[in-house]
Amino acid sequence: MQKREKMPFDSHIHLGRLPHPKELVKVLDQAGYAYNAIACEPAEWESLREIWQYSGLKEKGCNLAFGIHPMSVLQAKESHKQELRTFLERDGCFMVGETGLDRRFPEYGPGELQERWFLFQANLALELGRDLQIHCVGDYGRVIALLKKVGFGKAANGPQAIFHRFGGDIGSARQILDMGGLISVHSSTLTKKTSRLALAEIPRERLLFETDADETFWNATGSTDTPALVAESVAQRLLDALRDVREATENL
Ligand SMILES: [Zn+2]
Task: Give residue 95 CA to ligand 1 midpoint distance, Å.
Answer: 13
Query: Is residue 123 a part of any domain in this protein?
Result: yes
Model pLDDT for residues 164-193, shown as the tens digit of each residue: 999 999 999 999 999 999 999 998 888 889
Residue 104 buriedness (CB in 10 A; 0-12 / 13-18 / 19+): exposed
- For 42-93, what is each residue's pLDDT tens digit? 999 999 999 887 778 888 899 999 999 999 999 999 999 999 999 999 999 9
Helical H segments across 31-71, by residue range: 42-55
Calculate how far, in angstroms, residue 127's C-alpha sits from the geometric centre of ligand 1: 23
Does the residue 98 lie in any domain?
yes
Say if residues 176 and 231 touch (Cβ distance below 8 Å): no
Torsion of CA 150, 152, 157, 159, to 10 degrees: 90
Domain limits at 133?
10-250
Which CATH number goes with the domain that contains 77?
A: 3.20.20.140
* pLDDT tens-digit map of 104-140: 999 999 999 999 999 999 999 999 999 999 999 999 9
> How would residue 205 be classed by pLDDT, with cut points 50, 70 and 90?
very high
Residues 165 and 8: their CA atoms lie apart, in Å, by 16
Distance 137 CA to ligand 1 centre (A): 12
Q: 55 forms bridges with which residues in the sheet?
A: none
Which pLDDT score, from 0 to 100, does residue 3 have?
63
Q: How far is the CA of 99 from the centre of ligand 1 (A)?
A: 9
Q: For residue 3, tell me if it sits in a domain.
A: no
Please tell me the distance between residue 135's alpha carbon and the centre of ligand 1 in angstroms: 7
Residue 51 is predicted with a pLDDT of: 85
227-250 and 21-30 are packed helices; what angle lies between their axes, rounded to 10 degrees? 60
Distance 163 CA to ligand 1 centre (A): 11
Q: Is residue 4 part of a domain?
A: no
Q: Give distance in angstroms: CA of 39 to centre of ligand 1.
A: 9
The tally of domains found in the chain comes to 1
Checking if the pLDDT of 5 tops 70, the result is: no
DSSP 87-138: HHHT-TTPEEEEEEEETTSSS-STTSHHHHHHHHHHHHHHHHT--EEEEEES
- For the whole model, what pTM was predicted? 0.94
CA of 38 to the centre of ligand 1 (A): 7
Distance in Å, CA 98 to ligand 1 centroid: 6
- Containing 31, the helix (H) or strand (E) segment is none
* SS3 of 177-199: HHCCCEEEECHHHHHCHHHHHHH
Q: 134 CA distance to ligand 1 centroid (A)? A: 9
Residue 91 covered by a domain:
yes
C-alpha separations of 198 from 52, 190, 212, 249 in Å: 35, 10, 20, 9
Question: In this structure, is residue 1 part of a structural domain?
Answer: no
Of 85, 78, 181, the residue nearest 136 (C-alpha): 181
Q: What is the pLDDT of residue 156?
A: 84
2, part of any domain: no
Q: Tell how far the Cα of 247 is from the centroid of ligand 1, in angstroms.
A: 24
149 CA distance to ligand 1 centroid (A)? 24
Ligand 1 mean position, distance from CA 124 (Å): 19
